[in-house]
Amino acid sequence: MIGCGKMGGALLGHWMDGEEQFTIVDPALETAPSGARLVRERADLADERFDIIIVAIKPQMIDDILPDYAAMLAAGGYVLSIAAGCSIDRLSRLAGGVPVIRVMPNLPAAVGKGVSGVCAGPGADGPPLAHAVAMMGRTGTCVTVETEDQIDKVTAVAGSGPGYVFELARAYVEAAEGMGFSPDDARAIVLGTLEGAIAMALEPDAPALEELRNSVTSKGGTTAAGLAALNGDGALSQRLRETLEAAYNRAVELR
Q: Look up the pTM and report it.
A: 0.87
pLDDT of residue 170: 98
Q: Are residues 33 and 124 located together in one domain of the fold?
A: yes
Q: Residues of the chain whose pLDDT is less than 50? A: none
pLDDT of residue 59: 86
pLDDT of residue 152: 92
* 11, 23, 35, 82 from 16: Cα distances, Å: 9, 11, 8, 17
What distance lies between CA 110 and its chain's CA centroid?
10
Structural domain contains residue 60: yes
Q: Are residues 230 and 116 located together in one domain of the fold?
A: no
Which of 27, 30, 35, 69 is CA-nearest to residue 52?
A: 69
pLDDT of residue 224: 97
Q: At what angle do helices 235-253 and 222-231 cross, to 10 degrees?
A: 40
DSSP letter string, 4-37: --HHHHHHHHHHTTSS---EEE-TT-SSPPTT-E
What distance lies between CA 182 and its chain's CA centroid?
33
Could you tell me the CATH number of the domain that includes residue 222?
Answer: 1.10.3730.10
pLDDT of residue 34: 83
pLDDT of residue 46: 92
Q: Mark which of 89, 112, 146 sits at the end of a domain.
A: 146
In total, the chain counts a number of residues equal to: 255
Structural domain contains residue 151: no
d(CA 56, CA 6): 10
Considering Cα of 101, then 107, then 111, then 112, what sign does the dihedral take?
negative
Q: Are residues 171 and 220 located together in one domain of the fold?
A: yes
Query: 234-248 pLDDT, tens per residue?
Result: 999 999 999 999 999
Could you tell me the CATH number of the domain that includes residue 84?
Answer: 3.40.50.720
DSSP letter string, 91-146: HHHHTTS--EEEEE--GGGGGT-EEEEEEE-TT-TTHHHHHHHHHHHTTEEEEE-S
Q: Are residues 126 and 204 located together in one domain of the fold?
A: no
d(CA 13, CA 36): 10
* Bridge pairing between strands 23-25 and 50-55: unpaired
Structural domain contains residue 154: no
Q: Are residues 48 and 129 located together in one domain of the fold?
A: yes
**Residue 14 domain boundaries:** 6-146
How many domains are contained in the chain? 2
Residue 198 C-beta-side C-alpha neighbours within 13 Å: 8
Q: Mark which of 122, 146, 170 sits at the end of a domain.
A: 146
Structural domain contains residue 187: yes
Q: Are residues 127 and 178 located together in one domain of the fold?
A: no
Q: Are residues 95 and 174 located together in one domain of the fold?
A: no
d(CA 169, CA 185): 14
Q: Are residues 57 and 114 located together in one domain of the fold?
A: yes
Q: Are residues 108 and 203 located together in one domain of the fold?
A: no
Structural domain contains residue 153: no
Residue 65's CB is within 10 A of a number of other CB atoms, namely 16
Q: Are residues 49 and 110 located together in one domain of the fold?
A: yes
Structural domain contains residue 181: yes
Query: 127-139 pLDDT, tens per residue?
Result: 999 999 999 999 9
Structural domain contains residue 1: no
Q: Are residues 175 and 108 located together in one domain of the fold?
A: no
Amino acid at 161: G
On whether the CB atoms of residues 136 and 103 are closer than 8 A, the answer is yes
3-state secondary structure of 207: coil
pLDDT of residue 201: 97
Structural domain contains residue 130: yes
pLDDT of residue 251: 86
d(CA 121, CA 98): 9
Q: Mark which of 115, 146, 177 sits at the end of a domain.
A: 146
Q: Are residues 119 and 192 located together in one domain of the fold?
A: no
pLDDT of residue 252: 86
DSSP letter string, 29-77: -SSPPTT-EEESSGGGGTT--EEEEEE-S-HHHHHHHGGGGGGGEEEEE
Which of 48, 212, 208 is CA-nearest to residue 25?
A: 48
